[in-house]
Homo-oligomer: A and B are copies of this chain.
Amino acid sequence: MTRVAHGAGRRLRVALDAMGGDDAPAATVAGALLAQQSGVEVILVGDESRLAALPDDVDATMPVLHAPEAVSMDEDPALALRGKRGSSIRVAAALVAQGGAEALVSAGSTGATLAAALLEIGRLPGVRRPAVAAALPGGAVLVDAGASSDVQPEALIAYAEMGSAYARTRGVSEPTVGLLNVGSEPGKGNAFARAAFDALTGTPSFVGNVEPAAVLGGAADVVVADGFTGNIFLKTLEAAAAPPAGGPGAAILLGCASPVLVAHGDASADNIAAALETARSIAEGGLVQALLQALGRAGGVGEPARG
């Protein structure tokens, strides 16, 4: 199989965790081939022997980086990542960290992708925990859609900054920020939501609490929540057959030093292809640089922090 050359001066390349997802590697490889037809340069990372056994002749068309192990959905992400240095998601993240690709896509466990990104790619300065950004029906961006279930209320300030930077790259010039809550009035919600409301009150773009119906109605461009509440909200939308449509084909891990996208575990080949195309356009569009500016560290950035 073709080995990956870590050369400079190439087009932007996207590393794909070929073993991540319910239907991997069949769906991931099929999605990679589709994206390739759209001009995306993809590097497959996974078990060479399993990839070679597929009917698609990936060997002839696409670079493959061998990774002998894989992380399953029911493993503890952090433990699995530390134990499996040869897992496809970790090898793919390391490839990005070493400059062999400019973005990462996985349909495997979000926790494992986050852990691999933290270990290998690292965070942007000023980011304690990356957060998942998901595009919602109605156009808003939800942050955090499921990366970190237990955070301090103050973490939502960084989510607001990162979500606003992301919204600006999507063409929203002055994004407003709302807090996902059970009622619109100040004082609504649980202790966390009330503390988060207070923490966000100093943010000029903050428009207050937004109920689920208001979120879908476009009451704010950026909607922030802890990752547990955000994930319940997102999964309920999906379950009620209002899937985040027109979205990027995958959610984005905001706060990593390179673009990292997590696709659904049941992603189809089309979903994988859409995620790969989004990854390329995000890398080309300079989202990481926009995040750096939003986080107030635009000048004199050295090495990104490592997990």
Interface residues of A (CB under 8 A from B): 73-74, 76, 146, 149-150, 180, 182, 185, 187, 189-191, 193, 211-213, 215-216, 226-229, 231-233, 235-242
State whether A241 touches B240 (Cβ < 8 A): yes
- Specify which chain B residues have a CB less than 8 angstroms from the CB of A213 in the assembled complex: 235, 238-239
State whether B229 touches A232 (Cβ < 8 A): yes
State whether A228 touches B74 (Cβ < 8 A): no
- Specify which chain B residues have a CB less than 8 angstroms from the CB of A233 in the assembled complex: 232, 236
State whether B189 touches A149 (Cβ < 8 A): yes
CB distance from A238 to the nearest CB of B (A): 7
Number of copies: 2
State whether A235 touches B216 (Cβ < 8 A): no
User: Given known contacts A149-B182, A185-B74, A241-B242, is B236 in contact with A190 (CB within 8 Å)?
Assistant: no
CB distance from A54 to the nearest CB of B (A): 29
- Contacts A215-B239, A240-B242 aside, 6 further interface pairs with beta carbons under 8 A come to A149-B191, A150-B190, A190-B227, A212-B232, A212-B239, A232-B232
CB distance from A197 to the nearest CB of B (A): 13
State whether A189 touches B228 (Cβ < 8 A): yes
- CB nearest to A211 among chain B residues: B235
User: Given known contacts A74-B185, A240-B240, is B235 in contact with A190 (CB within 8 Å)?
Assistant: no
CB distance from A236 to the nearest CB of B (A): 4
- Specify which chain B residues have a CB less than 8 angstroms from the CB of A228 in the assembled complex: 182, 189-190, 193, 229
CB distance from A175 to the nearest CB of B (A): 21
CB distance from A278 to the nearest CB of B (A): 23
User: Given known contacts A212-B232, A232-B232, A235-B213, is B146 in contact with A182 (CB within 8 Å)?
Assistant: yes
- Taken together as a complex, chains A and B put the C-alpha atoms of A226 and B192 apart, in Å, by 13
- Specify which chain B residues have a CB less than 8 angstroms from the CB of A180 in the assembled complex: 232
- Specify which chain B residues have a CB less than 8 angstroms from the CB of A216 in the assembled complex: 239-240
